[in-house]
A = this chain, B = another copy of it.
Amino acid sequence: MTTTEDSTPRVDVATASVAVLGGTGDQGRGLARRLALAGNTVYLGSRKLERAQQAAAELVEGESSTIDVRGLDNTAAAAEGDIVIVAVPWDGHRELLQGLVEPLAGKIVVDCVNPLGFDKRGPFPLEVEEGSAAQQAEQILVESRVTAAFHHVSARLLLDPDVDEVELDVLVLGEDRAATDTVRELADRIPGVRGVFGGRLRNAHQVEALTANIIAVNRRYKTHAGIRITGL
């Protein structure tokens, strides 16, 4: 898909609402919290409405300032959000997206799923038929503007009230220039985070898989590692 900025709708990240599918997981809650703190309305999606509502309420109650996080089931969240982040477990990725082709049509979708396995030697990347989680999303969501980003965020840091800035560059991948620009701007809204264009979707696999290396770094150095791109 080739699009130009002229032919595609502009999304204003300052006023856009953001849906986080799989929003009750650590990564999803962490992103929801930081984007809500940045001023965005966030729709936290989950398979079960009650779980989403409970997680949303806990996030709101945990802040001293007012944030706008609302729990919905994944389908309703996908329909409501101007930008939709996919943060579900890899296990249910394909099935979830197959059921959301219509509500996600025309929207910027941000896939941040890392297909990883774990055994006693640690984490390793899983093979993905389509090449990567992001490419699987692209093949299913034929009417959406699919991007990939936020793979390496540390949920622990995103959720930590004592961490004001998250030292991390978020690689944003995609074919649609305006969409990757928008997602970079969205990443920039989290203090400390910088969105960096990271290539086409066919180069998403290694960005997803690099999470295994970051976990290896975390284990060896007892830290919550991230990456920065030098030379920018």
Contact = CB atoms under 8 A, between A and B. Distances in A.
Contacts of A202: 121, 124
> What number of copies of this chain does the assembly contain?
2
A1 interface: no
B225 A227 contact: no
A221 B172 CA distance: 14
Given A228-B228, A230-B225, A232-B225, A206 B212 contact: yes
Which applies to chain A's interface (DSSP): helix, strand, loop or mixed?
A: mixed
A198 interface: yes
B231 A200 contact: no
Interface in A161-211: 167-168, 171, 173, 196-200, 202-203, 205-207, 209-210
Contact of A226 (B125, B168, B210, B231): B231
Given A125-B205, A206-B212, A217 B229 contact: yes
B228 A230 contact: yes
A199 B212 contact: yes
Nearest to A196: B217
A220 interface: yes
A168 to B, nearest CB: 6
Given A196-B217, A197-B220, A203 B124 contact: yes
Contact of A198 (B125, B154, B216, B224): B216
Nearest to A221: B232
A54 interface: no
A207 B205 contact: no
Contacts of A123: 203
B231 A167 contact: yes
Given A199-B213, A199-B215, 12 more contacts: A124-B202, A125-B206, A173-B213, A206-B213, A207-B213, A214-B229, A217-B231, A224-B231, A225-B230, A225-B232, A226-B229, A228-B230
Interface of A: 121-125, 154, 167-168, 171, 173, 196-200, 202-203, 205-207, 209-210, 212-218, 220-221, 223-232
6 contacts: A167-B231, A168-B230, A173-B213, A197-B216, A223-B232, A227-B227
